[in-house]
């Protein structure tokens, strides 16, 4: 199977199921016999078309007598693939982009696809709406669903919303957290020719396949965004302490905390889904971490035996995910309204988790979204009900948070969109 054919089939499946794109792509590539070069092209096409879907459909609407959403899925997908290559991939000859895309559709549709793509090659003009209709303009230019555009405009205003989308449009490096139980950041950075993270004291930025990097099999690092690393630093676990990670899968914050604790103490890592806990156990084994215990548990349900027993509790709650659009491009088209129930669930988890904190202990509330109702508004409501807790300033590497609560943005901090609130239980 060619890389374009693989991308063509995977993109069609992505339109009709809810599986995360990165997981589906990994499975498809593992099952293929493509060369490394062709695997890279397939991944570029899958992610690129997904990231630019609305921009590409706007071009189809201008070039075709039929709107993109009126076309057969196979035809629409072939046109997106062809236009993406013509517009965004300079190294692919136009004739190859056209011919290969035409070959993907049945003969009855080949003439139509050929005509649309060749029309673009004759006049390679990127059509965009007028900026006077700002929601439509932002939706098309940055390929983000209009409901999410309108949501962020209401929360952050015109200038910052566009800056946020510009941040999400940048391809992020892979960020590693160094396992200082086995090596140092300086030593690993030199060996991998990696760049230290500017904020987190324990991170490296790299490019390429993580599993192929020297030191992976020896457990010298794991993948963790810099924002998540800052969250671990805000939690601030120390050797010998008891830590609860309420919604822990896939485990990076548990791993980071265990490393901070020098693998001394106890971490209880919970998750609602039993099958996800195997990721934590296998990851801990690779990293040489022995203080993590896992258990399937709904964070909303209290465990009375743990009341007042934890030095530190981490609530990285289920969220809408609107801080990671650069890494999960399918979320660009998710309607925020489908996440309306989340703030209540998040508050319920926080209400339960706060009961585990010792007097003088620390409670972290975090998400990977930038929607205020899942972040600041939840924390303010919680503090109104719990005067025994208060926001606590924290520092992490080169990052200071004097207010004890912060939203990280890709265009400002060069991280995922992420929220951290550090709460201390008054003695």
β-bridge pairing 242-245 and 310-316: parallel
Say which of 247, 319, 368, 424 is annotated catalytic: 368
Tokens linked to 391? 């926001």
State yes or no: is 368 an active-site residue.
yes
**Three-state secondary structure along the chain?**
CCHHHHHHHHHHHHCCCCCCHHHHHHHHHHHCCCCHHHHHHHHHHHHHHHHCHHHHHHHHHHHCCCCHHHCCHHHHHHHHHHHHHHHHCCCCCHHHHHHHHHCCCCHHHHHHHHHHHHHHHHCCCCCCCCCCCHHHHHHHHHCCCHHHHHHHHHHHHHHHHHHHHHHHCCCCCEEEEECCCCCCHHHHHHHHCCEECCCCCCEEEECCCHHHCCCCCCCCEEECCHHHHHHHHHHCCCCCCEEEECCCCCCHHHHHHHHHCCCCCEEEEEECCHHHHHHHHHHHHHHCCCCEEEEECCCCCCCHHHCCCEEEEEEECCCCCCCCCCCCHHHHHCCHHHHCCHHHHHHHHHHHHHHHEEEEEEEEEEECCCCHHHCHHHHHHHHHHCCCEEECCEEECCEEECCCEEEECHHHHCCCCEEEEEEEECC
C-alpha 169/C-alpha 163 separation (Å) is 10
**Distance of CA 23 to CAs 28, 165, 247, 333, 360, Å?**
9, 24, 20, 18, 41
Tokens linked to 185? 């950041």
C-alpha 179/C-alpha 259 separation (Å) is 7
- For the annotated catalytic residues, the residue numbers are 368
């Amino acid at each position: 199977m060619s890389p374009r054919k693989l991308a063509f089939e995977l993109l069609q499946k992505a339109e009709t199921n809810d599986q995360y794109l990165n997981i589906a792509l990994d499975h498809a590539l593992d099952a293929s016999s493509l060369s490394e070069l062709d695997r890279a092209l397939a991944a570029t096409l899958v992610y690129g078309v997904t990231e630019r879907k609305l921009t590409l459909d706007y071009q189809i609407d201008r070039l075709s007598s039929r709107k993109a959403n009126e076309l057969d899925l196979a035809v629409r997908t072939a046109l997106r693939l062809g236009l993406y290559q013509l517009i965004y991939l300079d190294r692919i000859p136009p004739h190859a982009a056209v011919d290969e895309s035409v070959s993907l559709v049945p003969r009855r549709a080949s003439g139509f696809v050929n005509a649309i793509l060749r029309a673009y090659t004759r006049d390679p003009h990127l059509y965009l709406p007028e900026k006077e209709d700002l929601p439509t303009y932002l939706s098309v230019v940055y390929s983000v669903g209009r409901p999410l555009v309108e949501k962020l405009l209401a929360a952050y205003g015109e200038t910052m919303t566009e800056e946020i989308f510009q941040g999400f449009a940048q391809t992020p490096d892979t960020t590693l957290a160094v396992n200082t139980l086995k090596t140092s950041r300086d030593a690993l950075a030199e060996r991998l020719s990696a760049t230290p993270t500017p904020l987190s004291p324990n991170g490296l930025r790299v490019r390429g396949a993580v599993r192929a990097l020297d030191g992976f099999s020896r457990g010298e690092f794991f993948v963790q965004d810099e924002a998540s690393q800052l969250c671990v630093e805000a939690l601030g676990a120390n050797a010998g302490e008891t830590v609860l990670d309420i919604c822990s899968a896939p485990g990076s914050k548990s791993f980071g905390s265990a490393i901070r604790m020098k693998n001394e103490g106890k971490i209880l890592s919970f998750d609602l889904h039993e099958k996800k806990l195997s990721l934590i156990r296998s990851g801990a084994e690779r990293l040489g971490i022995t203080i993590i215990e896992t258990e399937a548990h709904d964070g909303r349900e209290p465990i009375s035996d743990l009341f007042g027993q934890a030095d530190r509790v981490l609530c990285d709650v289920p969220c809408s995910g609107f801080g990671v659009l650069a890494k999960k491009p399918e979320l660009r088209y998710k309607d925020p309204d489908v996440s309306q129930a989340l703030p209540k669930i998040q508050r319920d988890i926080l209400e339960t988790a706060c009961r585990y904190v010792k007097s003088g202990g620390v409670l972290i509330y975090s998400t990977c979204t930038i929607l205020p109702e899942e972040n600041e508004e939840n924390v303010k409501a919680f503090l109104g009900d719990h005067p025994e807790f208060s926001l606590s300033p924290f520092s992490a590497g080169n990052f200071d948070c004097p207010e004890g609560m912060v939203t990280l943005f890709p265009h400002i901090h060069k991280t995922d969109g992420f929220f951290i609130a550090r709460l201390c239980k008054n003695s």
